[in-house]
Structure 1
Amino acid sequence: MPRWSIAFVRLVDRLNYGIGRMAMYLLFALMAILMWSTFSKLVLTPSLWTLEMAQFVMVAYYILGGPYSMQMGAHVRMDLMYARWDIRKQAWTDAFTVFALIIYLGIMLWGAFDSFSYSLGVKWGEPGLFGLSWPEIGRLERSPTAWRPYLWPIKAILCLGFFLMLLQSITYLIRDIATIRGEEI
């Protein structure tokens, strides 16, 4: 395999490992938010922000932990026949399914980025010079609840999570190609 592909695989693995390990601690933040919610309902007046904040933290935990979970092999796999196959046949099957996953994650990233730009109020103007249109920043999107937080931070985390999952999928495709070729990364 080319040196750039090996360097890419190692860089993405290191990046997703670090972000995934940090995302694990979001579970403690989620517990603290839910404990505060319970305490405030019993003793004080209920807080408006706790339910939505808990949802945001859970989304970040889930989305940023996805690439780490994929890297560690913690996803569920049905291996009724797969476990009996030789390594190269497994690599061919994995390459096909990872290629399908890359297409799916590309579409999800596109949708997440579109939603993120909408939350920033980006609207594309009329085509101008050389057919280019310039973005116009408008009103920032807010949640329709009583707390009314801005939605762009969680949508940015969605974009980051899908991008990291896409990078991790590409590393799996590179590893599968190396296995098919009889090499190891």
Structure 2
Amino acid sequence: MVRMMQGYTRVLDKISDCVGIVSMYLIFLMVAVLLLDAVTRNVLDIPLHWCIEFAQFTLAAYYFMGGPKTLKDGEHVRMDLLYEKLSWRGKHRLDLIMSLCLLFYLGVLLWGSVSSLEYAIKTGERRFSMWNPSMIPIKALMVGCIILMVLQTISEMFKHVLALRGKTTEGTA
């Protein structure tokens, strides 16, 4: 069981790192699109109606895709008033409890996002705007990233269980 947990955490950490790196580069894409919009609108006097919405979708993708890596690296927001006063074991136990709460939240979020994706597919949902983009790709990405976030949360739980047992994720004690 320990080896399975260690293997799972290694694989999920690598996947989260890869998705996180792709997410980092989305900022450059968003900046490029916004620059294109500024130049075409203000210099060339040719407004491109899709630029702002595309930048919004890119920012949403950035947030969705960055979540698992942020969780993996422990760079999320934490209330440290009581946490810092806990023992090493206490911190791992509290993190396990918080991970269960996070799993519940992500489960509800996943349920809603799958429902929203199903609706978008059935109705061919489009954003009501001049560009009129389909909502299916961003909603599908949202579902995929929430699933990855659930899997990464399970990985974090395994790390805490392994730590409480005196094991590491690399397979050594």
TM-score range, shorter chain: over 0.9
Larger radius of gyration: 1
Q: Name the structure 1 match of 2:24.
A: 24
- Would the aligned equivalents of 2:6 and 2:168 in 1 still touch at CA under 8 Å? no
Letter in 2 for 1:153: P
Residue correspondence of structure 1 range 154-173 to structure 2 within 5 A:
154-173=138-157
SS in 2 for 1:44: coil
TM-score normalised over the length of structure 1: 0.87
Question: What residue number does 1:124 align with?
Answer: none
Tell me the CA shift for residue 100 of structure 1.
0.5
CA distance in 2, matches of 1:33, 1:61: 14
Cα deviation 1:39-76 (Å, max 9, x = unaligned): 12112321110111010000001110111111111112
SS in 2 for 1:141: coil
Name the count of aligned residue pairs.
168
Q: Which one has the bigger helix percentage? A: 2
Distance 2:11 2:149 in 1: 14
Report whether the alignment pairs 1:34 with 2:23: no
SS at match of 2:75: coil
Choose from 146, 153, 156 the match for 2:137.
Answer: 153
- CA distance in structure 2 between the aligned counterparts of 1:73 and 1:5, rounded to whole angstroms: 19
Q: Quick check: 1:184 aligned with 2:162?
A: no
| Residue 45 of structure 1: aligned partner | 46
Moved more, 83-92 or 174-183: 174-183
Q: Aligned runs of 1:7-86 on 2, under 5 Å?
A: 7-42=7-42, 43-86=44-87
Task: Write out per-residue CA displacement over residues 147-176 of structure 1, whole angstroms, 9 at most, x where no aligned residue.
Answer: 111110000110111111111110111111
1:60 maps to a residue whose letter is: A
Runs (4 or more) in structure 1 with deviation over 6 Å come to none
Of structures 1 and 2, the one with the larger relative CO (CA 8 A, separation 6+) is 2
In 1: Cα distance, 2:142 partner to 2:164 partner = 33
TM-score normalised to structure 2 length? 0.93
Q: CA RMSD in A?
A: 1.2
**Any stretches of 5+ residues in structure 2 without a counterpart?**
none
